[in-house]
Amino acid sequence: MSLRTIKLIIEYDGTNFQGWQLQIPPNRTIQEEIEKALNKITKENVRVIGSGRTDSGVHALGQVAHFKTKSTLPTSTFLKALNYHLPKDISVLRVQQVKNTFHAQYSAKKKTYRYTILNRVAPSAQAWNFVYQFPYPLNVADMKREAKVLVGRQDFKSFQAANTKSKKEMSSIRTVNRLSIQKKGDLISLEIEANGFLYKMVRNIVGTLLDIGTGKLPKGSLKKILDQKNRAAASKTAPAHGLCLVKVKY
């Protein structure tokens, strides 16, 4: 019996997970929960491949994954069965059979992440898992002006986690296609689309932009930090819970 390749679009609240990637128990991960659900449905030891790893506490509105199976179940049945077996903080939005050449990680062309900041003194009782509360005044115009230098193909080594050892990330050159910063009421959202991201790249960029917004870093700082290609030049990493994987394009 030939194997089918099934593509999933997944939404999750990453608060109570140790990220996407399968780990040694008792660490709870998104990949583990989906593979457990698929095992119950197909009675196979299915390996689920995601478009990329999200860290502990990071959320997703449009994570993409794929798996291969001998099962002949219709995709509509997979959708219902997965959501029945998965915990409430993971939801499969779409199930689609695709060509066997499809690979959730290697076929991806662009990804979009959004980081949300609650810029007020009082915390949010309802959204605290999904926004980073930053109580100090921010000059959003300065943040927007400085962030323009990040668009394009360049070396983002200054915003790559200093302890990265992955061979896949030996090159720190990435292309940022779009970066926007929007303020609506007390909420500030930074949305960035790129052909790929270094480990903790978005959170390190956000941490640096916050220092620009408060005036801790002067005009022109972001370009100088980028040119140094040194993580020590940038600011501290913004917390994980403000970050969300919005979309993956193929």
For residue 147, give the nearest of 58, 75, 210 by alpha carbon: 210
Question: In sequence order, which residues have a C-beta less than 8 Å from that of residue 210 and are 6 or more positions away?
Answer: 117, 134, 138, 235, 238
Longest Cα pair distance anywhere in the chain, in angstroms?
A: 63
Number of separate helices (H) and strands (E) present in the chain: 5, 10
13, 55, 186, 227: the active-site residue: 55
Backbone region of residue 95 per phi and psi (left: phi > 0; alpha: psi in -120 to 50; beta: other values):
beta
Cα gap 45→73, rounded to integer Å: 16
Q: Is 55 a catalytic residue?
A: yes
Q: List active site positions.
A: 55
